[in-house]
Amino acid sequence: MNSPYVIEVRNVVKSFKTVQAVRGIDLNIGPGQFVAILGPNGAGKTTLVEMIEGIQQPDHGEIRVMGKPWKGNETYLRQHIGLSLQETHFVEKLTTWETLRLFASFFSIGKDRCEEVLQMVALEEKRKAWVVNLSGGQRQRLALGISMINMPKILLLDEPTTGLDPNARREIWAILRKLKDQSQTSMILTTHYMEEAEQLCEYIVIVDHGKILKQGTINDLLGEIQDIPVKPAEIRKITLDDLFISLTGRHLND
């Protein structure tokens, strides 16, 4: 029964009243792997990730996390995963430190780990600042810090850099790269930024309209581009963006 994967998604389907958000997705993620789920707005990324997080239930299909289904293992799984939602507003009038301490207490974790996390996300100077007074980037770093507070075996981040300026985005990338170097954590990250997927993740899953269009390592995916007619001079500039256009006929950020 021992599965080599930390996340297994089998033929998962999820519909809302009028939309089929996820229409049959299969996905396996191994330990320590960093995976990007890349797709435009409305592709079904959030729905997929929240089903893996046990926040939403699939209509059909099966999801196993660390070899266990959510049903009956919630307490165990919640202890070992870390996540950040696409948009969370923490309590405005709590400080950074108080917010960290609050979430740490849910895992019975004390202040030493909070100090560590505060350092990892470079918010020591903002320890006493109210959440409402943090910049967008600082709030995202706080959300990231909270997602890592329990040293999760699996980290799931839903659009952690959307809406941030390039500098703030790079700060988040730096934190995640460090995490990859220093721990065995597996990560799923959703994004609609090519660069983010290329920079952080060795495995990329391109989704649109609730389906996986292509998945593989960056080289696998760019290898496909041989089939796209391009002028030789442009060959170096070919990126995932071109791949996406060739797959769907439109730009990723449309």
Ligand X SMILES: Nc1ncnc2c1ncn2[C@@H]1O[C@H](COP(=O)(O)OP(=O)(O)O)[C@@H](O)[C@H]1O
Binding site for other proteins (CB under 8 A): 53-56, 75, 78-79, 83, 85, 87-91, 93-94, 98, 101-111, 130, 150
Task: Select the span of 15-23, 75-83, 89-97, 221-229 touching ligand X (CB under 6 A).
Answer: 15-23
Helix and strand counts by DSSP (H, E) for the chain: 9, 10
Instruction: Specify the DSSP class assigned to residue 161.
Output: T
Cβ-based nearer residue to other proteins, 86 or 239:
86
Is residue 254 near ligand X by the rule CB under 6 A? Answer: no
Torsion sign (Cα): 218, 36, 191, 61: positive
Kindly give the residue spans of alpha helices, DSSP state H, lying in 107-193.
Answer: 111-120, 136-148, 166-182
* Among positions 25, 33, 35, 47, the unique one binding ligand X when judged by CB under 6 A: 47
DSSP state letters, 14-31: EE-SS-EEEEEEEEEE-T
Cβ-based nearer residue to other proteins, 51 or 206:
51
Query: Which of Mg ion, other proteins, ligand X, none has residue 64 at its interface (CB below 5 to 8 Å by kind)?
Result: none
Query: Which of other proteins, ligand X, Mg ion, none has residue 90 at its interface (CB below 5 to 8 Å by kind)?
Result: other proteins
Is residue 160 near ligand X by the rule CB under 6 A? Answer: no
Contact map string, positions 70 to 89, toward Mg ion, x by CB under 5 A: ----------------x---
CB 208 within 8 A of CB 39: yes
Cβ-based nearer residue to ligand X, 116 or 195:
195
Cβ-based nearer residue to other proteins, 36 or 149:
149
- Main-chain phi, psi angles of 61, to 5 degrees: 90, -175
Query: Using CA atoms, how far apart are residues 252 and 248, in angstroms rounded to an integer?
Result: 9
Query: Which of other proteins, ligand X, Mg ion, none has residue 191 at its interface (CB below 5 to 8 Å by kind)?
Result: none
CB 154 within 8 A of CB 187: yes
Is residue 138 near Mg ion by the rule CB under 5 A? Answer: no
* Among positions 3, 11, 26, 42, the unique one binding ligand X when judged by CB under 6 A: 42
CB 225 within 8 A of CB 242: yes
Instruction: Specify the DSSP class assigned to residue 81.
Output: E
Which residues contact ligand X by CB under 6 A?
A: 16, 19, 21, 39, 41-47
